[in-house]
Structure 1
């Protein structure tokens, strides 16, 4: 084909790439592209996407990323297929942090639509990774949007999803949204666990709302969720920061009594 005059059209070469990928000749796809590049045969986004996919399927995602400068050099626009493939390749190699960073770059720079990219992330575990990363990046709007998209796609948010969102909202002091999320959890029969309550209590204490945190702990106990050492430590720290050392001391004694009772029950 390379020696034919006139040269076959680009779609003909694309069909060759597609056939080789279907036959799982991934290394041959790489060799063919290298030869075409050397001979200056025209390439397009379809070929690049197949090449990226081939590298990812043989677990050479780093080589796939090395192709990105070709997009810049040739003026071929980045597309959602290429980014989906890169994300999938990163997850396949357990490079979760790199996948999250890539996703955040896509979100920040509006390279492609988030809902299209998320077709690569089919389960709640993978969604939770990205939601948590967005929350830590203080991009709560995108995180909440992603949570809503999960429900639209039939993927149910869990306590981990809501825990990340509540933590992010607490750090920004958006208490009304925190209350809304708690109500939403209960309405969806997703009951806050000890970890979720601890996140909220810690967030309140760090914002100087220790009385509210104490009320949350009481509510937590009423709902049958027993405080753990983290809960008590956070409340004590909150009271100390608020200058209420005596109340912190009382919480400390309550913690000791609760631990003693638990030990006695175990002994029985």
Structure 2
């Protein structure tokens, strides 16, 4: 990367005839190298600019000052500031803010404050939000909370108003000094000004109240942040586990993991699981099942199976719910052989395999086009002491329709009623769509009439197909009033 930057400099020196263009180009290059934190390299490149007689501007000199600051060489930073005046350049707010940050990095708060005060008195280079925030952070780092609050009050008096970063820095510092009441008061002040807290703000407060053993307040703050859609991060959870009774927080951990999985933030959920185990908490079967479900829903079947093995290694045996989640994930992702293997494992362990498990497997067979196998499994339910429910029949009807076996699907519709299992709206919509897809419009219209008479209506997918038929004049206009009733 650095060699490429050097080549860019050589090329810029050779090809660019415009002095201003060369300065702009070098500013871009130096800025990129500085972002990579190769501060010494920036200084080296800067010195080469002098040899190549390339001019300096405010931006280049500010970048160089920043690099010297991060190298803890404030003397050189100040010497670069002197170059401003030699070259007739005017330091801007970023230059002075960079110097303030440099002094703070060396814990030289007095000198940082001195620059800030000069900026406040000067009329042409007033501090901006970054300047204020930098100084506040510096005071907080040294535990000088009163000075940080004074800076905050100066912001209130001026045009540059404090933001959540300014408040959060002070709140965190107050909490670390066990001044939790002051922190909470500042938190309320921030909220009253319409400044929304973030995860850092809440984590600081939770850490503060936990250190005082105020567990109920920690719970209240946690619930409050979640209600505002501010989701706890790994550090928040780490604070809670470290400070509170571990057993009482197993449920909280499971709730947080569940929230991440619902948002499909599986990586964050996995980080929380690892944090739990590192803190000596053994995740229970429910927690593992939630994670297995999350992995399946985003297609990470390998991770889901690893979690299943991991939970058994930890002494947490998968229950029927865990197996059903994994089985459903395998079936929906067309991993039928692995699904059948898992089903065999369930039978071998003599688990209580209910109709929900069979529904998942029958649907998986239908999705894979193995309609005969699905029918055999369906017909064998009675021998297992199980009765098919509405979901079971609807799955079979859908599978038969997909296979083009609509007459058999209609027989299943009649059969379910004879067995005392009344069809629902979902069942009717499924078979109606099946007949329409198989271009048996007249039968579909009869079924629509039956559905309406039973008090059910067409869903969005069915209505889309009906509207499409209407546009093609494939529906008898006399049926329009009936169709309208199904809306």
In structure 2, the gaps of 5 or more residues are 1-171, 180-203, 422-487
Q: 1:32 to 1:252 in 2, by over 3 A?
A: closer
Q: Structure 1 residue 243 and structure 2 residue 404: aligned?
A: yes
- Residue of structure 2 equivalent to 1:122: 283
Is contact 2:250-2:283 (8 Å) kept?
A: no
- Closer/same/farther in 2, CA of residues 117 and 246 from structure 1, 3 Å limit: farther
In 1, the alpha carbon distance for the partners of 2:279 and 2:289 equals 12
Task: State whether structure 2 residue 195 is matched by structure 1 residue 33.
Answer: no
Cα distance in 2, alignment partners of residues 196 and 93 from structure 1: 24
Q: Which has the higher contact order (CA 8 A, sep 6+)?
A: 1
Distance (Å, rounded) in 1 between the aligned partners of 2:360 and 2:176: 51
**SS of aligned partner of 1:91:** helix
Q: What are the ranges of 5 or more consecutive residues in structure 1 without an aligned counterpart?
A: 1-28, 37-47, 72-77, 261-268
The offset of 1:122, in angstroms, is 3.2
| 2:371 corresponds to 1:210 | yes
- Give the equivalent residue in structure 1 for 2:266: 104
SS in 1 for 2:380: helix
Q: Normalising by structure 2, what TM-score? A: 0.37
Query: For residue 170 of structure 1, what is the aligned residue in structure 2?
Result: 331
Partner of 1:154: 315
How far did residue 237 of structure 1 move? 1.2
Shift of 1:139: 1.1
Which of 192, 206, 211 in structure 1 is aligned with 2:353?
Answer: 192
2:341 to 180, 184, 209: 180
Task: Tell me the number of residue pairs that the alignment of Structure 1 and Structure 2 aligns.
Answer: 215
Question: Are the structure 2 counterparts of residues 151 and 253 from structure 1 closer, same or farther at C-alpha, using a change threshold of 3 Å?
Answer: same
User: Secondary structure in 2 aligned to 1:160?
Assistant: helix
Q: Report deviation, 1:31.
A: 4.3
Kept in 2, the 8 Å contact 1:220–1:226? The answer is yes
- Partner of residue 10, structure 1: none
Task: Give CA deviations for 1:57-109 in whole Å, capped at 9, x if unaligned.
Answer: 621236697896xx9xxxxxx799459679x588379556424359712467x
Per-residue deviation, 1:249: 1.7
Deviation of 1:121 after TM superposition, in Å, equals: 5.7
Query: Aligned-pair RMSD on alpha carbons?
Result: 4.3
Q: CA deviation at 1:243?
A: 0.9
Q: Aligned with 1:259: secondary structure?
A: coil
Per the alignment, residue 51 of structure 1 pairs with 207
State how 1:55-70 maps to structure 2 within 5 Å: 58-59=218-219, 60-61=221-222
> Out of 394, 418, 435, which is 1:257 matched to?
418
Contact 2:400 2:406 in 1 (8 A): yes
Distance 1:248 1:105 in 2: 43
- Per-residue deviation, 1:116: 2.9
Cα pair 1:80 1:117 within 8 Å, conserved: no
Choose 1 or 2 for highest CA Rg: 2
Superposed CA deviations along residues 23-55 of structure 1, whole A, max 9, x for unmatched, are xxxxxx98441679xxxxxxxxxxx8x928929
TM-score, structure 1 as length reference: 0.63
